[in-house]
Amino acid sequence: MKQSRKMVYMALLISQALVLHYLEGFLPPLAPGARLGLANIVSLIALHLFGFREAMAIVLIRSVLGPILGGSPMGILYSLAGGTLSCIVMAVLYSRFNKYFSLPGISVAGAVFHNIGQILTASVVYGSIGILFTYLPVLMLSSVITGNFIGLAAKYIIRFLDRRELFEQTG
């Protein structure tokens, strides 16, 4: 794929991730602080279309711009911690263990590790390890539910994109 074409697709994916991040703010949370993670659909699509480096670039840009544009600069810390950990785990599962894990399964793992990253960050910020034990079970349950939903959505979008041959695979 030509570099200029790839840059255009990356810019489109970043803007889609930011729009999904923004729109998600209007949805009621499953639990306090628990979001659906709609922008993670874009991360999974980027992993499929481009690979780890590009997916991580999208996650990092979204993790910085999303909270800034949303008016919560402190959210950058939580978004970076969760997004980075999530992307690494999903990339490893997608590239090395995809015959054992479905896309929804990979997405659930990403959601779990996203929440772990955010809870660890909150524990450091607030200086309390108690947050881990009190709120993590709630977030793990929401991770399974939302991770499946996000993974299924990404699976069907990827299937559509592959059939349309809009993108050339660049692993």
pLDDT bracket for residue 99 (50, 70, 90): very high
pLDDT digits (tens, 9 = 90+) for 23-36: 998 988 877 777 89
What are the helix and strand counts (H, E) for the chain?
A: 6, 0
Does a structural domain hold residue 170?
no
Query: What is the extent of the structural domain holding 111?
Result: 3-164
Does a structural domain hold residue 171?
no
Query: Looking at residue 10, which CATH number applies to its domain?
Result: 1.10.1760.20
> pTM here?
0.89
CA distance 45 to 163: 14
Please report where in the chains the tokens 């200086």 appear, as a residue.
127
Radius of gyration for the alpha carbons in the chain, expressed in angstroms and rounded: 16
* Mean pLDDT within 159-168: 74
Does a structural domain hold residue 134?
yes
Does a structural domain hold residue 169?
no
Does a structural domain hold residue 16?
yes
Please give the tally of structural domains in the chain. 1
